[in-house]
Structure 1
């Protein structure tokens, strides 16, 4: 509870946490806005495919032009200013940088960036949760081997949910379930970038005015992002994925204890110890009051009479049996909260969530009947969405993870609603992400066999 104090001490000592950031999109820009207020850090370098856009974003959020006018990384490291460029390799190899923040949103690139950073003894805060969903435990293993920290990004929902799970377990409670909220109706699964704004509640004109990316927003709407983030939570918190995908039961915050308990006790879970997502809409599309759409929750158990009596005495909201209770964070502030990860990794050498197992996976599921010869366009596109599955099932069945289902060609027809399999595609096997994923699959199969 004293991270801020310790960060202030780093500033007073003239020894700020030195950071390099790859990607200056929405998440990165939100962090850049807050970084101006964090005296205990120094952003040595920002790299982006479009440096001029990165500079424009920095100016937008209040950076003085002189603050990002360093002529090189060496100049930035010595002067205290920031260098903006497009060479990520120079960033991860620079000796004065301690932490790399990966926030490109490109899962294949993110894996390559992370592995390179580990090789040069840099800690990684991985904002690109899409990469963590299908390679998280492999990246964590590589970081451990290199003697560095690999961390989820605080501000995104997986790290916040893991924080709640850790809180519950540290208090001595048994965690029954954890997850996030979402706006969900079953037909959203078929949404494409052409239909997303109608479902989202914006006009195409409003979306264009806001420079909103329809594919990115569609990844949230069609269930891909909830599956990705649920996989990250499961793999970090030691929870299980539902056998047939997320249930998305409708409910508000106070409904969570009734919903997120085992089906045998009136809830929606196959068993205790699972992840799922709560929808803020009823089956007919009506908004549910006091929803958890933008937040996260943990459901835990009063497994003794004394604990249940305490719940009753302190008038907390429980399920109708008085046995299950939830705690929650109703809002997540995305890049505005990333300073918590920077401080935790830089000062405590502690991740804000990290995949410890390969328990959950996100399979690419056909949105419609797909024909041989079609090219899959990945997360948020026209062809596939993400479906959460137990990792053991996904690997045994040969499902293609959503993160590797971009720009690959079908060699077979795939029916709507069916997961795409490796035998259905012609994939690019010459990538760091593919190789690391295959390592994880081999390891999982070996562990299952034992």
Structure 2
């Protein structure tokens, strides 16, 4: 039976998947627009720092008011309604919730929510790639120990990339490179909230008239969000990040097999089995022909002449050797697709992509020369951007991850373009988020036989 058929069967049997959503922002709102339309999925609870804002989001996406007029999770579970609250801990602990969705974007909150889900045996879907990149390898282990599913969020690019990688490997093809598209120029790494709108081409009138968060938008532009997502893909698909960060080559869909192949064969890859992000604009600012700005891809290799002939016979675009080809999805619909993750867990007990190992990490790199006494302001800010590197590199350097590079005071000056190290900052080792991350570093440093330099 298909997942949809199994969801309808759950309706017939009176046991819909009972879901709790944390965070009613953009991603959460997109899920809200679809959740009540999908059979077999009952959104029992929505938790947000502002319940009033959450209810406003529900109304904005078409949620019937009468479906949120309830006084408790228990009542909501009996009446097919949705209880809105600001008590996330209580919602995760509730016996009326089976699956939790973290759509907060906060690394600290994400770690806290996963650990609570483990304690209360609730499956969890991590829209929160910030938390997954920061501590996902250890969180996934804790989830496995608790017997719960820890899943990427379908609709977000890492899960869609993982789906393409799984497809290729399942039919016997070696994945050479996988990733996504974005808009990129080298100057963007130094972008700040003051310069971000010029890079996007938004006018002052557009910014004034919309709900625009400059630091959030800047995290997409300065390369941090791409780094976070590629770390998640590397960790979930057993792929390697580039040794010195993403190259962001300008590349359209027709050129994926030619550009994303080994250097020895005319491409840019130092080795097979990597992640990379392709730019939708050339270095001189011209648009790339048939760009993949909103999409995802996987490049794979034919194992022999027979498969190469099949590629040709069925019109698959290859490089000039005929060995390398690509499959891609031109768009992703983020929260509109999230129900796939809920359905996969509810009907198959399977994640839509999940962290397996610690292969990639996102370290904080200075945007400019930073002085002793300055405060780091995190992803999308004025001081640092995120760069994905091999986990071994991060451990050897002793780098501060971008997910923790907020509110930390520098003890030492850091030159422009250099990693910020733990030894460069003052921090509270007892802080739950920092302690969990440092526990992960200790666990994997021992397993990899590494010493911090």
- TM bucket (normalised to shorter chain) is over 0.9
In structure 2, C-alpha distance between the alignment counterparts of 1:333 and 1:428, rounded to whole Å:
39
* Cα distance, 1:396 vs structure 2: 1.1
Alignment of 1:38-437 (within 5 A): 38-437=38-437
Residue by residue over 1:143-171, the C-alpha shift from the partner in whole angstroms, topping out at 9 and shown as x without a partner, is 00101010010000000000000000001
Is residue 67–residue 82 contact of structure 1 (8 Å, CA) maintained in 2?
yes
Is residue 36–residue 42 contact of structure 2 (8 Å, CA) maintained in 1?
no
SS in structure 1 opposite 2:240? Answer: coil
Comparing 159-168 with 80-89, which one deviates more in the overlay? 80-89
SS in structure 1 opposite 2:43? Answer: strand
Residue by residue over 1:172-218, the C-alpha shift from the partner in whole angstroms, topping out at 9 and shown as x without a partner, is 00111100101000000011111111111212321332202111111
1:34 equivalent in structure 2 = 34
* Cα distance, 1:432 vs structure 2: 3.0
Residue by residue over 1:375-401, the C-alpha shift from the partner in whole angstroms, topping out at 9 and shown as x without a partner, is 111111111100010000111110111
* Cα distance, 1:15 vs structure 2: 1.0
Residue by residue over 1:237-282, the C-alpha shift from the partner in whole angstroms, topping out at 9 and shown as x without a partner, is 0000111100100010011101111111111111001001100101
- Size of the aligned set, in residue pairs, is 450
SS in structure 2 opposite 1:18? Answer: strand
Is residue 108–residue 431 contact of structure 1 (8 Å, CA) maintained in 2?
no
In structure 1, C-alpha distance between the alignment counterparts of 2:439 and 2:8, rounded to whole Å:
42
In structure 2, C-alpha distance between the alignment counterparts of 1:435 and 1:125, rounded to whole Å:
23
Q: Which runs of 5+ in 2 are unaligned?
A: none
* Cα distance, 1:97 vs structure 2: 0.4
2:5 equivalent in structure 1 = 5
Instruction: Tell me if 1:442 matches 2:442.
Output: yes
In structure 1, C-alpha distance between the alignment counterparts of 2:329 and 2:434, rounded to whole Å:
35
Is residue 157–residue 180 contact of structure 1 (8 Å, CA) maintained in 2?
yes
* Cα distance, 1:436 vs structure 2: 2.3
In structure 2, C-alpha distance between the alignment counterparts of 1:201 and 1:138, rounded to whole Å:
40
SS in structure 2 opposite 1:248? Answer: coil
Residue by residue over 1:421-448, the C-alpha shift from the partner in whole angstroms, topping out at 9 and shown as x without a partner, is 0000112323332222222212222222
Is residue 408–residue 428 contact of structure 1 (8 Å, CA) maintained in 2?
no
In structure 1, C-alpha distance between the alignment counterparts of 2:64 and 2:261, rounded to whole Å:
52
Is residue 101–residue 127 contact of structure 1 (8 Å, CA) maintained in 2?
yes
* Cα distance, 1:294 vs structure 2: 0.6
Is residue 18–residue 98 contact of structure 1 (8 Å, CA) maintained in 2?
yes
* Cα distance, 1:134 vs structure 2: 1.8
Is residue 257–residue 325 contact of structure 2 (8 Å, CA) maintained in 1?
yes
In structure 2, C-alpha distance between the alignment counterparts of 1:254 and 1:165, rounded to whole Å:
19
Comparing 70-79 with 293-302, which one deviates more in the overlay? 70-79
Q: Which runs of 5+ in 1 are unaligned?
A: none
> What TM-score comes out, normalization by structure 1 length?
0.98
SS in structure 1 opposite 2:409? Answer: strand
* Cα distance, 1:96 vs structure 2: 1.3
Residue by residue over 1:30-53, the C-alpha shift from the partner in whole angstroms, topping out at 9 and shown as x without a partner, is 000011211211111111111100
In structure 2, C-alpha distance between the alignment counterparts of 1:403 and 1:425, rounded to whole Å:
14
